[in-house]
């Protein structure tokens, strides 16, 4: 059996990994490749898996922890997938709060499974707004002093929710281990901002190749594809990372995966429900000064589906399509990753679904809900030195 090309795209929650991977998949299919997805999360019922399948791609889900902590499951799923479908290219999306993948996933794959997989350079996607907020603004990414903290609270009386310094640390670590940094969403940037951010990334992460891409418009995709073909010794440098700080950052986030059954005799529009719900939840989180990392919802009915995504409190919810068809029964899947306790996250989602369905006259029942903080990362393997070539 020929080794399967394995393309892994990491990066923080909401950076655009799923959208980028779908773009890559379309391009590989055009070029005659047979492609499959491996999605990954701390729990099951993933919006990403549904999105990928809706676009006609096959996917396998690895729930219950990131690739590094579920390494054996990753191997089993990948082997099975390849055997069943004769895949040539496997696209992997690790959990958006995961770091240290070079040492715990890429190196073990390169060393122990080199007959099975041929690893593409490791891409890490980054959202320009998060980059600006977490790394480029003065004083972020370092511990803030007590004085700046007090100034923010009492003098500036800042209202905006913000991530803590540990999340900025995790965000920086994710970028530090990239072979390729994909600055995504460049369709939203001016020429000046593009240049400024490119300059910053090149200086701060000098070992990485930086590509500017828009998963939305397809800009920059060819250049990224060309770099992906190069042999950059994927995951060459193991990261220096403090696992306690990394774990602290992950545990700052409340995580929620839930599904609800919704129905209405006369029918309702999927887009309206999703949009209203996203706005309602955004308001609830903003009132609690809880920053949204990524809130994704999917409404699926009879093989069709519409999704909505919100990646910051200050952003507008984005629907995958208008969703104007009238539907009578559907399954609503909610994946929330928010800087709030799991209990408050659960209350917000349960309260939001109740209020919005009531307003729209839609019946609902909860089918499943789990909300928790990600556990301390415990990778199965960790290599401290780069693989011998």
Ligand X SMILES: Nc1nc2c(ncn2[C@@H]2O[C@H](COP(=O)(O)OP(=O)(O)O)[C@@H](O)[C@H]2O)c(=O)[nH]1
Encoded tokens for 322: 């208008």
12-20, 79-87, 134-142, 347-355 -> range binding Mg ion (CB under 5 A) = 12-20
The helix-helix angle for 165-176 and 243-251 (nearest 10°) equals 120
Among 5, 28, 48, 119, contact with Mg ion (rule: CB under 5 A): 48
Query: Could you tell which of Mg ion, ligand X, none binds residue 294, using a CB distance below 5 to 8 A set by kind?
Result: ligand X
Query: Could you tell which of ligand X, Mg ion, none binds residue 282, using a CB distance below 5 to 8 A set by kind?
Result: none
Query: Could you tell which of Mg ion, ligand X, none binds residue 367, using a CB distance below 5 to 8 A set by kind?
Result: none
**What is the C-alpha separation between 94 and 71, in angstroms, rounded?**
11
Q: Which residue, 94 or 238, has its beta carbon nearer to ligand X?
A: 94
Q: Is 184 in the site for ligand X (CB under 6 A)?
A: yes
Q: Which residue, 51 or 227, has its beta carbon nearer to ligand X?
A: 51
CB 8 within 8 A of CB 179: no
Q: Which residue, 17 or 282, has its beta carbon nearer to Mg ion?
A: 17
> Could you tell me which residues are beta bridge partners of residue 5?
89, 118
Q: Which residue, 48 or 291, has its beta carbon nearer to Mg ion?
A: 48
**What is the C-alpha separation between 12 and 168, in angstroms, rounded?**
10
Span 315-344, contacts to ligand X by CB under 6 A: 318
Q: Which residue, 242 or 316, has its beta carbon nearer to ligand X?
A: 316
Q: How far is the CB of 274 from ligand X (least distance, A)?
A: 12
Q: Which residue, 187 or 343, has its beta carbon nearer to ligand X?
A: 187
Q: How far is the CB of 334 from ligand X (least distance, A)?
A: 14
Q: Is 18 in the site for Mg ion (CB under 5 A)?
A: yes
- For 273, phi and psi rounded to 5 degrees? -60, -50
The burial class, CB within 10 Å (0-12 / 13-18 / 19+), for 71 is buried
The string of DSSP letters for 236-296 reads: -S-----HHHHHHHHHTSEEEEEEEEEEEEEEEEHHHHHHHHHHHHHHHHHHTT--EEEEE
Contact characters 203-242, ligand X, x per CB under 6 A: -----------xxx--------------------------
- For 293, phi and psi rounded to 5 degrees? -90, -50
Q: Is the dihedral of CA 121, 38, 59, 15 positive or negative?
A: negative
Q: Is 188 in the site for ligand X (CB under 6 A)?
A: yes
Query: Could you tell which of ligand X, Mg ion, none binds residue 185, using a CB distance below 5 to 8 A set by kind?
Result: ligand X
Taking the CA atoms of the chain, what radius of gyration do you get in angstroms?
21
**What is the C-alpha separation between 183 and 205, in angstroms, rounded?**
12
Query: Could you tell which of ligand X, Mg ion, none binds residue 60, using a CB distance below 5 to 8 A set by kind?
Result: none
Q: How far is the CB of 329 from ligand X (least distance, A)?
A: 25
CA 96: distance to chain centroid? 4
Among 4, 7, 8, 16, contact with ligand X (rule: CB under 6 A): 16
Q: Which residue, 222 or 318, has its beta carbon nearer to ligand X?
A: 318
Q: How far is the CB of 174 from ligand X (least distance, A)?
A: 11
**What is the C-alpha separation between 351 and 345, in angstroms, rounded?**
10
CB 240 within 8 A of CB 324: no
Q: Is 289 in the site for ligand X (CB under 6 A)?
A: no
Q: Is 17 in the site for ligand X (CB under 6 A)?
A: yes
**What is the C-alpha separation between 68 and 379, in angstroms, rounded?**
5
What residues make contact with Mg ion under the rule CB under 5 A? 17-18, 48
Q: Which residues bind ligand X (CB under 6 A)?
A: 11, 13-19, 96, 184-185, 187-188, 214-216, 294, 309, 311, 318
């Amino acid at each position: 059996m020929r080794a399967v090309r394995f393309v892994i795209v990491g990066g923080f929650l909401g950076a655009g990994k799923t959208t980028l991977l779908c773009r890559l998949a379309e391009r590989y299919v055009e070029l005659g490749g047979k492609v499959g997805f491996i999605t990954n999360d701390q729990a099951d019922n993933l919006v990403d898996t549904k999105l990928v399948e809706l676009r006609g791609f096959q996917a396998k889900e690895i729930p219950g922890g990131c690739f590094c902590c579920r390494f054996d499951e990753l191997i089993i799923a990948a082997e099975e997938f390849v055997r069943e479908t004769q895949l040539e290219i496997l696209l992997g999306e690790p959990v958006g709060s995961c770091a240290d993948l070079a040492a715990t996933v890429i190196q073990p794959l390169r060393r122990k499974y080199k007959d099975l997989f041929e690893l593409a350079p490791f891409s890490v996607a980054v959202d320009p707004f998060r980059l600006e907020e977490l790394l480029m603004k003065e004083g972020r990414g370092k511990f803030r002093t007590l004085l700046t903290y007090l100034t923010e609270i009492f003098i500036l009386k800042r209202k905006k929710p913000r991530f803590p310094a540990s999340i900025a640390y995790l965000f920086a670590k994710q970028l530090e281990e990239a072979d390729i940094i994909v600055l995504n969403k460049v369709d939203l940037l001016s020429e000046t901002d593009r240049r400024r951010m490119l300059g910053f990334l090149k200086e701060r992460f000098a070992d990485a190749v930086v590509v500017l891409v828009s998963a939305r418009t397809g800009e920059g995709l060819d250049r990224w594809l060309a770099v992906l073909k190069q042999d950059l010794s994927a995951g060459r440098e193991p990261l220096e990372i403090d696992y306690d700080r990394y774990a602290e950052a992950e545990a700052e986030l409340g995580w929620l995966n839930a599904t609800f059954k919704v129905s209405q005799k006369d029918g309702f529009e999927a887009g309206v429900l999703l949009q209203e719900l996203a706005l309602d939840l955004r308001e609830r989180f903003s009132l609690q000064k809880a920053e949204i990392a990524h809130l994704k919802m999917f409404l699926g009915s009879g093989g069709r589906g519409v999704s909505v995504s919100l990646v910051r409190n200050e952003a507008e919810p984005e629907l995958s399509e208008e969703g104007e068809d009238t539907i009578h029964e559907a399954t609503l899947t909610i994946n929330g990753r928010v800087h709030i306790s799991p209990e408050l996250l659960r209350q917000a989602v349960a309260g939001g679904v109740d209020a919005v369905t009531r307003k729209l006259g839609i019946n609902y029942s909860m089918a499943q809900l789990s909300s928790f903080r990600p556990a301390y990362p415990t990778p199965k393997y960790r290599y401290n030195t780069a693989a011998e070539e």
